[in-house]
Structure 1
Amino acid sequence: MMLSRAKPAVRGAPPPMDRRRKKGKKVPQLEELLALRDFTGAIALLEFKRHVGEQEEDADLWIGYSAFHLGDYKRALEEYEALTKQPACNPDVWVNLACTYFFLGMYTQAEQAALKAPKSRLQNRLLFHLAHKFSDEKKLMSSHQNLQDVTEDQLSLASIHYMRSHYQEAIDIYKRILLDNREYLALNVYVALCYYKLDYYDVSQEVLAVYLQQVPDSTIALNLKACNHFRLYNGKAAEAELKNLTDSASPSFEFGKELIKHNLVVFRGGEGALQILPPLVDVIPEARLNLVIYYLRQDDVQEAYNLIKDLEPTAPQEYILKGVVNAALGQEMGSRDHLKIAQQFFQLVGESASECDTIPGRQCMSSCFFLLRQFANVLIYLNSVKSYFYNDDTFNFNYAQAKAAMGNFSEAEEVFLLIQSEKIKNDFVYLSWLARCYIMNKKPQLAWKLYLKMETSGESFNLLQLIANDCYKVRQFYYSAKAFDVLERLDSNPEYWEGKRGACVGVFQMILAGREAKETLREVLHLLKSTGNSQVEYIVRIMKKWAKENRVPV
């Protein structure tokens, strides 16, 4: 948040109005245009005067200044670079050039130009920001010590706090300045932005309303309002706010255009991501992150990893996303190294002072313990935030798995059944855990139905093994026998016959104990006869003898 200057950073020459008064000429319109912040008009006027030969000494400087404030940094760069090549160039022009380089993202050139300028508060603020960009803590602290208790320097400090995710510290500075300068309405937008970053979207809206009452067509404020609507409501509500902005904009509207295009992709759930986001990577910081999220949602984990692997995270969201990508890649590849990296990223965010008590921070700690398979701790963190995620399928999927892993199968089943996403419901992890819950909750017939709905595949074979073994463990022998019977037909492994034999004898034992219907014996005998093992005849003879004695039709 570099402050716009009220005048160019050039000393020595008096302003144009004073010179023209000395010549006895009419007061120029330039000052009036600049006072109204009509920078397009100012450039048009200066270019006209230049064209008709009515050249002013500071025309190039004012054109650079106006272009800079219009956001046309390339044009400003051309003017300032041309000025620095003149023999009588005022050394203060270098700091203007440095600011232009900064806004173009040319940070190395910005530093080189800034160091050629005389020492000034503007130069120090710029070097302060550059030190942050270069992650040079030593230079950052050096520039910090040179800051004074004046509005511009304090605003610069607040912006660094903001970029380092110290949002409360930034809010404190902005509020302190606002107490003495109520006319600085734009600071309300900065405060609202900090509250947005702290997830206080309703508070952000209230603060933003103060500014929008006075400046209803502000691009930045309306964009932030749309982002709040996205968080509070949905993408359609957010898009409606941005439509108001684009409808009221003039055809030459350029400022914030890329930001709006980027945000529309997010509001529309990733629609047009591959067309719009790639050119904006490294232009808008969030573009890379949102493109990574798009790839993750498309299950293209490798592309997501390629895009984020070289990113050095500085903000919590970047650490979290790197953790998610590494976790997804680790699970897909069976890589313990990637899972370890993911666990470390999650732990770093979850234990940080700024994030430990936030919802994302607690989710990070639950993810960390999930990867460590410490499910009791997972539940501690998920229970603390579950009221915010009642209808969130991804949250419920993780929450139910943790419940089941701790043996809370009844609660786990309830949570699994809350999930609506077809993608999750067709995931083998979901099916296997739900089947286990059904079995442990004495509903093996429902687990068997899950198998019957599946197409024949390696996953259906694995589910059969789970049903066969889990049902056997909890003495649900009938469905264990059915599962072992199918497994035996699919694979001649003798272990499946042994499991089927034990399950069938178990069903017979349950019938004898009066805990299974006698009619079940007929199906058990059918299952046994489908096996060509020599032990079958002996087992069948005993069962039939008992059936005959007890008048059970088989």
Structure 2
Amino acid sequence: MILSRGKTDSASSRNASGGTGSGLGVGRQARKTPAPASLEDFIIKRDYTGARAFLEFANDDEDEEEGAQGPKQSLVDQWIAFCNFHLGDYQQALAQYKAIQQGSSSPDGKLDLNLAVCMFYLGLYEEAQQLMANAADNPLKQRLLFHLAHKLGSEEEWSQLQEELQDSSSLEQQLSLASMHYMRAHYQEAIDVYKRVLVDNKEYQAINVYLALCFYKLDYYDMSQEVLDVYLSQHGDSTIAINLKACNRFRLFNGRVAEQEIKNIADNGTFGADLLRHNLVVFRNGEGALRVLPGLLNIIPEARLNLAIYYLKQGDVQEAHALMKELQPTSPHEYILKGVVHAALGQQLGSKEHIKTAQQNLHLVGSSATECDTIPGRQSMASAFFLYEQFEEVLVYMNSIRSYFVNDDVFNYNFAQAKCATGYYKEAEELLMQITDMDIKNQHTYCMILAKCHIHCGHPELAWNVFITRDTNAEAFILLQLIANECYKCAEFWVAAKAFDMLEKLDPSPENWEGKRGACAGVLFALCTKAQRGRPGGGISEVIGIIRDSSNSQAEAMIKTIRKHINNFK
């Protein structure tokens, strides 16, 4: 993004028609030579492995013949460092440039600049910044300062340099500006720059890859693949392009389809191997996450996010929070993930502070001008209102994107909760019955909501069945209380009586006896009035049987009263 990946001045002067790079690994078509015979041929073809081998071989020959030293040796060492840098071995390139600097008798601004660039790629931003005072003044220095200002948060300097790059007609400066738009999630602005550059420079085919990346970030996966195919038709072995194609496949289809695209190049030591290993974990739904992702935390930014997601799926909220607490979000998906982590932790710990942080992060995304009309933006706003317990507002946002999640169990689960909270029990019941994910169906909250919906939809026996299929524990006791009280409210007195009877056996408190007594009285009223609901299938004898099981002193008197008026209940 900040470097010229083309030839150095010495190489350019030998063949001006060869062209220069774009600052993003973009170059003109390599001229076809059956057997490269010079360093220039390797550099023009961007065959840096071949160039390094050529230099090392030539260097060995000269050492044997002449014992070459001095300026000539320094120049060869710089070319070797140059090749190592373009092969992605920044640490080796840095070590070589430092060795050259130590052997130099006078300050060299270009050498300082090369050192600073290596440090930048290694994440040593402050060290790189310290070298910039003595670095040679050229367009590369301007690009590097621009990106350092971004990394170090120097907004005033960043704004000034942005204006300078915007006014520049240099191709490399424009591409550097586009890359900054991309990093700041200003994808449409990046697209505008790339399209403008591509109009006059169609030979820079790799710009299609950068356009495809922007479309991918905007969720236009079909469009991303269409643009990407232009590049792949000429460079079918590009690791970065193949990886992006796999990511598009993952979004459009599934992980199995995506994996087919990269599995053959993931383990062959190719450039971008770390990225491919990372993405395979994602495509495989987290398989191997603990083995692969921790080692990539400081290499691939998304590794931290995906490891946090893995911990969330495993229910290890504390580990997810430990990964995310120091992260300062800069993009919508980072804000969303941080919000989700705080929401989960807040619910786990009962912490209002964490819930408030979650609300702020999610609301920020949902209300932003760039995200408010996107699917993630509306999901975020729905989630924020969910945490605010403003469920009517939740329904507004969820209804607007429902067509995209018809068969999504998680979406239907959340949608059902909002429907239930606002009294749309029939719709909530239908949504809950559509869910097939057993992890969701075994949740206590799912059982509570389903039971409540069954009761309010006139299916109290289904609610009772939900209870009897649960294990006997504290959560089952809470479910039983809900069934008892909701059935009583809805005049489903027989199921309420059974529930209060069970509660009294588990906890013979006055409250449970009073609930049972009232429910039984409701059953008697239903029998007298021949009501459609609240009546037992076995008649009055079932009511007497429940009351007789009570140890309360009022039970016998109630049975006597019922038998005295038993003819009224037949």
Q: TM-score, normalised by structure 2?
A: 0.91
Structure 2: which amino acid aligns with 1:282? N
**Equivalent of residue 285 in structure 2, options 259, 269, 272:** 269
| Matched-pair contact (CA < 8 Å) for 2:259–2:280 | yes
Report what 1:53 is aligned to. 62
Alignment of 1:5 with 2:22, yes or no, is: no
Report what 1:75 is aligned to. 92
Any stretches of 5+ residues in structure 2 without a counterpart? Answer: 17-35
Q: Say if 1:46 and 1:37 are closer, same or farther in 2 by CA, change over 3 A.
A: same
What does 1:203-218 correspond to in 2, within 5 Å? 203-218=223-238
What does 1:419-498 correspond to in 2, within 5 Å? 419-498=435-514
Report what 2:30 is aligned to. none
Report what 2:151 is aligned to. 133
Report what 1:22 is aligned to. none
- The CA deviation at 1:90 is 3.2
Structure 1: which amino acid aligns with 2:540? L
Structure 2: which amino acid aligns with 1:530? D
**Equivalent of residue 234 in structure 1, options 230, 244, 254:** 254
Q: Say if 1:37 and 1:519 are closer, same or farther in 2 by CA, change over 3 A.
A: closer
Structure 1: which amino acid aligns with 2:302? E
Report what 1:538 is aligned to. 557
- The CA deviation at 1:485 is 0.3
**C-alpha separation in 2, matches of 1:366 and 1:82:** 57
**Equivalent of residue 543 in structure 2, options 524, 534, 540:** 524
| Matched-pair contact (CA < 8 Å) for 1:205–1:225 | yes
Report what 1:64 is aligned to. 81
Structure 1: which amino acid aligns with 2:555? V
Q: Which moved more, 1:510-519 or 1:373-382?
A: 510-519
**Alignment deviations for residues 519-542 of structure 1 (CA, whole Å, 9 cap, x no partner):** 421111000011122322222122
What does 1:362-381 correspond to in 2, within 5 Å? 362-381=378-397
| Matched-pair contact (CA < 8 Å) for 1:511–1:518 | no
**C-alpha separation in 1, matches of 2:569 and 2:549:** 24
**C-alpha separation in 1, matches of 2:338 and 2:144:** 30
Q: Which moved more, 1:54-63 or 1:93-102?
A: 54-63
**C-alpha separation in 2, matches of 1:388 and 1:135:** 38
**C-alpha separation in 2, matches of 1:477 and 1:38:** 82
What does 1:255-404 correspond to in 2, within 5 Å? 255-404=271-420
What does 1:78-157 correspond to in 2, within 5 Å? 78-85=95-102, 86-147=104-165, 148-157=168-177
Report what 2:190 is aligned to. 170
**Alignment deviations for residues 196-246 of structure 1 (CA, whole Å, 9 cap, x no partner):** 000111110100000000000000000000001111101100100002434
| Matched-pair contact (CA < 8 Å) for 1:4–1:69 | no
Q: Say if 1:16 and 1:152 are closer, same or farther in 2 by CA, change over 3 A.
A: closer
Report what 2:50 is aligned to. 41
Q: Which moved more, 1:83-92 or 1:272-281?
A: 83-92
**C-alpha separation in 2, matches of 1:389 and 1:338:** 28
- SS of aligned partner of 1:115: coil
Q: Say if 1:17 and 1:185 are closer, same or farther in 2 by CA, change over 3 A.
A: closer
Q: Say if 1:314 and 1:126 are closer, same or farther in 2 by CA, change over 3 A.
A: same
| Matched-pair contact (CA < 8 Å) for 2:178–2:194 | yes
- SS of aligned partner of 2:294: helix
Q: Say if 1:517 and 1:53 are closer, same or farther in 2 by CA, change over 3 A.
A: closer
| Matched-pair contact (CA < 8 Å) for 2:480–2:499 | yes
Report what 1:21 is aligned to. none
Report what 2:520 is aligned to. 504
- SS of aligned partner of 2:62: coil
| Matched-pair contact (CA < 8 Å) for 1:217–1:245 | no
- The CA deviation at 1:29 is 0.8
**C-alpha separation in 2, matches of 1:266 and 1:246:** 14
**Alignment deviations for residues 65-123 of structure 1 (CA, whole Å, 9 cap, x no partner):** 11111111122112211222211453212212211111112111222223321221110
- The CA deviation at 1:51 is 1.6
Q: Say if 1:227 and 1:551 are closer, same or farther in 2 by CA, change over 3 A.
A: closer
- The CA deviation at 1:41 is 1.5
**C-alpha separation in 2, matches of 1:311 and 1:103:** 20
The answer to which structure, 1 or 2, has the higher relative contact order (CA under 8 A, 6+ apart) is 2
Q: Which moved more, 1:351-360 or 1:77-86?
A: 77-86
Identity, in percent, stands at: 53
**C-alpha separation in 1, matches of 2:133 and 2:303:** 32
| Matched-pair contact (CA < 8 Å) for 1:191–1:207 | yes
Q: Say if 1:291 and 1:137 are closer, same or farther in 2 by CA, change over 3 A.
A: same
**Alignment deviations for residues 11-40 of structure 1 (CA, whole Å, 9 cap, x no partner):** 8x996899xxxxxxxx97111111111111
| Matched-pair contact (CA < 8 Å) for 2:42–2:51 | yes
- SS of aligned partner of 1:152: helix
Report what 2:421 is aligned to. 405
- The CA deviation at 1:316 is 0.9
- SS of aligned partner of 1:178: helix
| Matched-pair contact (CA < 8 Å) for 1:17–1:28 | no
**C-alpha separation in 2, matches of 1:239 and 1:190:** 22
- The CA deviation at 1:265 is 0.5
Figure out how many residues of one structure are paired with residues of the other and give that number: 537
Alignment of 1:195 with 2:195, yes or no, is: no
Structure 2: which amino acid aligns with 1:258? D
**Equivalent of residue 185 in structure 1, options 200, 205, 230:** 205
**C-alpha separation in 2, matches of 1:177 and 1:543:** 91
| Matched-pair contact (CA < 8 Å) for 2:461–2:495 | yes
Q: Which moved more, 1:85-94 or 1:344-353?
A: 85-94
Q: Say if 1:517 and 1:523 are closer, same or farther in 2 by CA, change over 3 A.
A: closer
Structure 2: which amino acid aligns with 1:167? Y
**C-alpha separation in 2, matches of 1:286 and 1:505:** 62
Q: Say if 1:529 and 1:50 are closer, same or farther in 2 by CA, change over 3 A.
A: same
Q: Which moved more, 1:273-282 or 1:106-115?
A: 106-115
Q: Say if 1:325 and 1:518 are closer, same or farther in 2 by CA, change over 3 A.
A: closer
**C-alpha separation in 2, matches of 1:296 and 1:204:** 30
**Alignment deviations for residues 428-455 of structure 1 (CA, whole Å, 9 cap, x no partner):** 1110011000000010000000000011
Structure 1: which amino acid aligns with 2:253? Y
Structure 2: which amino acid aligns with 1:52? D
